[in-house]
Amino acid sequence: MGLSRRMFTKEFKLAAVQRLERGSSLGEVARALEVNPNVLHRWRREVQDFGLKAFVGNGQRRIDEGRVAELERKVGRQALEIDFLRRCLQHVEEQRKLQALNIRSSSTRTSKRK
Domain shared by 28 and 66, yes or no = no
Q: What is the mean pLDDT of the chain?
A: 85
Domain shared by 33 and 49, yes or no = yes
CB 33 within 8 A of CB 16: yes
Q: Based on the structure, what is the number of domains in the chain? A: 2
Please give the Cα distance from 2 to 112 (Å, whole number): 93
Please give the Cα distance from 93 to 87 (Å, whole number): 10
Instruction: Report the pLDDT value the prediction gives residue 20, as an integer from 0 to 100.
Output: 92
Instruction: Report the pLDDT value the prediction gives residue 112, as an integer from 0 to 100.
Output: 59
Domain shared by 62 and 102, yes or no = yes
Tell me which residue range forms the domain holding 40. Answer: 8-55
Q: Is 73 within a domain? A: yes
Domain shared by 96 and 64, yes or no = yes
Instruction: Report the pLDDT value the prediction gives residue 32, as an integer from 0 to 100.
Output: 93
Q: Is 89 within a domain? A: yes
Domain shared by 42 and 66, yes or no = no
Domain shared by 50 and 64, yes or no = no
Q: Indicate whether this model's pTM tops 0.85.
A: no
Q: Is 18 within a domain? A: yes
Domain shared by 89 and 73, yes or no = yes
pLDDT for 40-70, tens place per residue? 999 999 999 888 788 876 555 556 777 888 8
